Amino acid sequence: MVRRYRRTSTLIVCVLVYLALFVAGCRRADFSRPLIVILVPSQDNPFFKAEGEAAAERALTLGYRVRVDAHNDDAYRQDNLIDAAIASNAAALILDNAGAEASIAAVRRATKAGIPCFLIDRAIDIDGVAKAQIIADNHQGAKVVAAEFARAIGVRGGEYAELLGRESDTNAQIRTKGFHSVLDKQPSLKMVSAQSANWSQSEAFQKTETMLQAHANLVGIVAGNDTMALGAVAAVKSAGIKNILITGFDGSPDALAAIASGDLQATTMQPAVLIARLAVDEANQFLKTGRTGKAERQVIACDLVTKANVTDYRDFEKIR
């Protein structure tokens, strides 16, 4: 009985040792794969979450390890995360940056450390540092949704308001210029209020409440993103007002649902998933060949989404 017990114990120990060596070998094999670091502004915002997940999925499919983190639009935190990528000997960096000017030094530092940088969604104010800057055409997207806003209001015209994004954000500035390149040419439309809601739904709700009280004749609200548009929708509903036309920008799942229900007139779909995948594909190409085969700056067109085509889109990508 004692001998049998000893044999069993020895067998168990051997199995455990084998499993430990197997797991250690797997870990070594996993860490032998190159690391792609993906940095986005937020993992809570559905747009940034979608681009981060799309980039990670494509990188894993191509055989890379991935690490996804958020800098929260904080240039100092972004610097620390890029330093961590350098310390981890990352093979490449996919970055939705924390500011067109504030991010230049960090991107340059990563590049000098031998980490090629591929920027998505937001460009920086310099060429020749990143290997690629792949962005949505925010100006074109703003123009098409503004044209739909003007078309839907029609010849009756009237007073409208604008909800702007964070004023320091390059995309917020580009979008408002795109809106006004169309709306300022409409003689029947008059903007009576423009306020920043900092991309926030709660701020947009509060700002819209204020605008509704100050301007009883509003016929529409143009919002710089879907989150603010949905805040405006909620404020209009809360006030019991009907027939105020609202448009957004981004193509978020909640905005698509609001378009389908008739609460939102239209949005512009930013191809976040497509852009993220392109960045990873170009990083992979560069790591294998030393070049991407593409121009550094690449601008991807946005799509207008209305009730007529809303079922063609899901989770920041066109599905048919």
For 265, which DSSP code?
A: -
- The pLDDT tens digits for 151-203 are 999 999 999 999 999 887 888 999 999 999 999 999 999 999 999 999 999 99
- Long-range CB pairs of 86-89 (<8 Å, 24+ gap) are 86/110, 86/113, 86/115, 88/35, 88/37, 89/35
Q: What is the 3-state secondary structure (H, E, C) of 204-246?
A: HHHHHHHHHHHCCCEEEEEECCHHHHHHHHHHHHHCCCCCCEE
- Long-range CB pairs of 198-202 (<8 Å, 24+ gap) are 198/165, 198/166, 199/165, 199/166, 199/169, 199/172, 199/224, 199/225, 199/227, 199/228, 200/227, 200/228, 200/231, 201/227, 201/228, 201/230, 201/231, 201/234, 202/231
- The pLDDT tens digits for 17-44 are 455 555 445 455 467 899 999 999 998 8
- The CATH T-level fold of domain 138-269 is Rossmann fold (3.40.50)
Q: Where are the alpha helices (DSSP H) in the chain?
A: 2-31, 46-61, 75-87, 104-112, 138-153, 170-183, 201-214, 226-238, 253-261, 272-289
| Least confident piece of the model among 11-20, 103-112, 194-203, 211-220 | 11-20
Q: For residue 150, with 0-12 CB atoms within 10 Å meaning exposed, 13-18 middle and 19 or more buried, which class applies?
A: buried
Residue with tokens 């512009």: 268
Between strands 317-318 and 313-314, the pairing is antiparallel
CA atoms within 13 A on the CB side of 246: 32
pLDDT at position 5 over 70: no
For position 196, what pLDDT does the model report? Answer: 97
pTM of the model: 0.84
CATH 3.40.50.2300 domain locations along the chain: 35-130+271-300, 138-269
Amino acid at 307: K
Q: Three-state DSSP class for 104? A: helix
Residue with tokens 């390149």: 181
- The CATH T-level fold of domain 35-130+271-300 is Rossmann fold (3.40.50)
pLDDT at position 88 over 90: yes
What does the mean pLDDT of the chain come to?
A: 92
The contacts of residue 246 (CB under 8 Å, 6+ apart) are: 220, 221, 222, 223, 229, 232, 233, 236, 263, 264, 265
Strand partners, 314: 317
User: Given CA atoms 165, 248, 214, 207 in this order, what sign does their dihedral have?
Assistant: negative
Note whether 294 and 119 are within 8 A (CB).
no
For position 166, what pLDDT does the model report? Answer: 87
User: What number is the average pLDDT over the span 256-266?
Assistant: 98
